[in-house]
Amino acid sequence: MKNIVFTGGGSGGHVMPAITLIKELIPREDYTIHYIGGRNSIEKNLVADYDVVYKPIFTGKLRRYFSIENFIDIFKIFLGMIQSFFILLKLPKKTLVFSTGGFVSVPVVVAAKITGKKIYIHEQTSRVGLANKICSKFADKVFVSFEESLKFFPNHKTHFSGYPIRKECFDSSLHFEKFKNLNLKDSTKELLFITGGGNGSLLLNNLIKDELDFLKSKYNIIHQVGKAFIDEYQQLADESYIPVAFIGEEIVDIMKAASIIISRAGAGTVCELMALEKRSIFIPLKIAQKNEQYHNAMEANKNLGSLVLSEDELKNLNVKTILETFEGSQYQKKAAPKQEATAYLVEQIENSLS
State the binding site for UDP-N-acetyl-alpha-D-glucosamine: 11-13, 166, 293
Query: Using CA atoms in the order 247, 299, 127, 103, what is the torsion angle rounded to 10 degrees?
Result: 10
Residue 161 amino acid letter: S
Q: Kindly list the distances between the CA atom of residue 79 and the CA atoms of 5, 56, 64, 82, in Å, as whole numbers in the listed order.
A: 19, 12, 21, 5
Q: Closest by alpha carbon to 272, among 192, 346, 142, 164?
A: 164
Q: Output the furthest CA–CA distance in the chain (Å, rounded).
A: 61
Q: What is the DSSP letter of 151?
A: G
Contact criterion met (CB below 8 Å) for 8 and 103:
no
Q: Kindly list the distances between the CA atom of residue 97 and the CA atoms of 87, 92, 332, in Å, as whole numbers in the listed order.
A: 12, 12, 39
Compute the distance between CA of residue 210 and CA of residue 206 in angstroms, rounded to an integer: 6
Compute the distance between CA of residue 294 and CA of residue 310 in angstroms, rounded to an integer: 8
Compute the distance between CA of residue 301 and CA of residue 331 in angstroms, rounded to an integer: 9
Binding-site residue ranges: 11-13, 166, 293
Report the length, in residues, of the chain. Answer: 354
